[in-house]
Amino acid sequence: MKNILFLVGLLCCGQGFGQSQNLKALFLGNSYTYVNAMPTMVNDMALSTGDTLNYDSNTPGGYTIEGHTTNATTIQKLKLGYWNYVIVQDQSQMPSFKTYNMDAAHYLDSLIKMHNECATTLFYMTWGRKNGDSYNPNWPVTSTYLGMDSILRMRYMEMAEINKAEVSPVGAVWRHIRQTDSTMELYAADGSHPSVAGSYAAACSFYTAIFRKDPTLITYNSTLTASEANFIKAATKTVVYDNLLKWHIGEFDHLKKESCQPSSTPNEIANSTNNSLNLKIYPNPNSGVFRISGDAPFQVEVFNLQGVKILAHQSHENEVLELDLSAHSKGIYLVSTTVGELVQHSKIVIQ
């Protein structure tokens, strides 16, 4: 079980499950990032779970992604070359404009990868303003919170997909909170910037995206009451942790060079195929029902992200084994298949 927990943790988190992680992140954005010292909140959350986030930032007020592409401080910090994550945030309104050019995001992503070949670009999905954007009369869809928020979400997802990057879906966490608890004030008085609760929700999203761990493990509550913090952590678990691949978190890990990963990386464990087993798992992703076929009888065990065995079967000669996990939650699972002394570990995704 100990080995399985370790494997599941690697699969889920990119690092050891339950093990201390020491990661480096660079935040490139503006006031939405620096208000309430949000990056410091992320590190405080990490410290409360035994992890560390060594971070730096360049966040001039009102700054855009395009501005960061030529900013001397940004370039200097990128050239340090040792970041695990580089967080990218545009000016609060720009991605919601009727016409929005993503060339700057692509160029900045290229700079990140040029100087930090092992880094993950993590786009900071921001939120719609409390009452929408009244300063954009030629694009009425953004005149409401929901309209502006929906376009921001679409644009940040497009940035991630184009650049094979990941998303910290802060805006999605905010929307979930707004829809489930209208009494929680996420906004500062200007209806745009985050309150302490809003920054805490953003930090929870980043903790979950960076460390790929359950945010309900966090014991740091900032200045919030325990009930307020716990509500935000639970919302983040629902939106982010339970749907990592929805936000492309971990989806593109396999594209990184082998030198970027320590031995027994999540990609080697989850995606490797021992050719002598000749096992096939399909379809993947799936809706909960999938099949395994092989040339010889095999034993299969399926584990969830907590390392709990949820299913086990032994196949027969020339059998195509059909397994049904449709009663379980959507997400990532580890499939361990054994033939004699040979073991193959694979991941499956239930959508």
Reported pTM: 0.72
On the question of pLDDT at 342 being above 90, the answer is no
Instruction: Give the mean pLDDT of 24-52.
Output: 96
| Domain edges within the chain | 16-260, 272-350
Please give the class, per CATH, of domain 16-260: alpha beta
What CATH architecture is 272-350?
Sandwich (2.60)
Instruction: Indicate the burial class of 183 (C-beta count within 10 angstroms; 0-12, 13-18, 19 or more).
Output: exposed
Task: Identify each DSSP E strand in 193-330 by its residue range.
Answer: 280-282, 289-293, 299-303, 309-314, 321-324
- pLDDT at residue 18 tops 80: no
Instruction: Give the CA dihedral 191, 170, 43, 198, nearest 10 degrees.
Output: 30
Nearest alpha carbon to residue 262 among 33, 16, 85, 82: 16
Specify the pLDDT at position 9.
44
Q: Tell me the pLDDT tens digit for each residue of 153-200.
A: 999 999 999 999 999 999 999 999 999 998 999 999 999 999 999 999
- Please spell the DSSP secondary structure of 32-81, one letter per residue: HHHGGGHHHHHHHHHHHTT-EEEEEEE--TT--HHHHHH-HHHHHHHTT-
Q: Which two tokens stand for residue 298?
A: 């095999």
Vertex 81: Cα angle to 75 and 86 (nearest 5) = 70
pLDDT digits 0-9 by tens, 105-116: 999 999 999 899
- Does 60 sit behind a cis peptide bond, omega within 30 degrees of 0 on the bond before it? no
Q: Count H helices, E strands: the chain?
A: 11, 12
Tell me how far CA of residue 255 lies from CA of 113, 118, 172, 219, 270, in angstroms.
Answer: 12, 10, 26, 34, 14
What pLDDT score does 346 carry?
75
- Report whether 224 contacts 233 (CB < 8 A): no
Please report where in the chains the tokens 């700054």 appear, as a residue: 63
Closest CA to 291 of 281, 299, 277: 281
